Every structure is written in C-alpha cells, then in structure tokens.
Amino acid sequence: MDGQAYLLNTQTKKVELFYHLQDQHLIGEFFWFETQADDEYFKATDQYNGFLKASEVKKAKLPTIISKKAAKTSDQPASASQLAALKKEITKAEAVQKKTIYKLSSSYRRDYLDYALSNAQKALSGNKGEVTFAKWLLANSETYLNGKKAPVTNINKLSKAEYERVRRIVSDVAPNGYMTAIYYKRADGT
C-alpha cells in the first residue's frame, strides 16, 4: 500500500477510507514467474489501480491522497485551477518520458508512469476526485522510476562486472522483464 484516500460512494453519499494498493512489480526488481501482465485479457487498470477498504485491514500510516473533507465534494466538476495544476503535471510527466531515468527504468516502472499519464489525460474531463487522484498518481509514478546509466571504462572491452551491469539494465528495460541476449567482445578478442 502506498497511499490512502477517502472515497465518496455516489449511491449512498457516504465517505469511506480506502488504501491504494501498490503494484507488485514496483516492489522488487526481478520477477522470473508468470504474472497477470502476461495474460492477454488482463488490463493495466487492474494492475495499477487497486483500492482496499480500510476496514478490511489493520490500521496503516500512509500519505493521504484525498482527504475526508475533499471526498464530500469529489463528484463535483473540477475547478479551472485544479485542471491547470493537472495540465502542469501532465507536461512534467511528458518531459520525464524523454529523460534517461525513464528510458532506462524497468518496463513495469515505465508502464506505471505511462498508465498514470493516460489516466491524467482522461481526468481532464473528470470531476474533482478524479483530477486529485490523477495528479497524485502521476507524481507517485515518477518516484518509482529507477533508470540510470551503467558506468563502463571502455564499451569495447567490458569487464565481467561491467557486462553484468549492462546486461541487467537491458533485461530490466525489455518489455515484461523478458531476457535479452547481449553479445560483447572480450579483451582477448573472443
């Protein structure tokens, strides 16, 4: 769990506390087992957007996404200032997609930011609650990016440790964690 939100049940008009479930792929680095992401019928929204009613779990100390007071008016149209703030976050996320940290992050972490960006673009025509959540999801997804360059002394003569760092980055960046083959020339010419 990575956040909590008070959500308005539009049918009963009752506000209840829910916990946002963290995507399983963002917790660890490597997953060598089949996941729901490999299932062609599995939707990205199922993977990244889970909420669990707080009354169903032990008390947790988490950052608040939507306050109890804000939840009461969350079904009202978003204000111009809220939409402007979300547009600013969208622009920022689009810029992050062009940076090395995004390009070299594991595919699951990039997918999380891509999903958050898509969700935010849809929320531009949504209500206050959708805009607030979309803004938080965008900012939160950026914190999970883990891409960075692997330092090497000579790209044409990789040491075993350098090769392993490059191989790890390439396998992480590959879609759905699929292993890729890397061929390199050793210092002895083989």
Average pLDDT of the chain, as a whole number? 77
Q: Are 108 and 37 in contact (CB under 8 A)?
A: yes
Tell if the pTM clears 0.75, that is, is over it.
no
C-alpha span between 151 and 73 (Å, rounded): 50
pLDDT tens profile 90-119: 999 999 999 989 988 888 888 889 999 999
Q: What is the reported pLDDT for 86?
A: 96
Whether 5 and 18 have beta carbons less than 8 Å apart is answered as yes
d(CA 90, CA 139): 10
Mean pLDDT of 41-45: 41
Q: Are 96 and 142 in contact (CB under 8 A)?
A: yes
Domain range annotation of the chain: 3-143, 149-190
Rounded Cα distance, 190 and 185, in Å:
6
The pLDDT score that the predictor gives to residue 154 is 84
Q: Measure the CA–CA gap between 109 and 167, rounded to whole angstroms.
A: 18
Mean pLDDT on 80-91:
95
- Check residues 77 and 13 and name the one with the higher pLDDT: 77
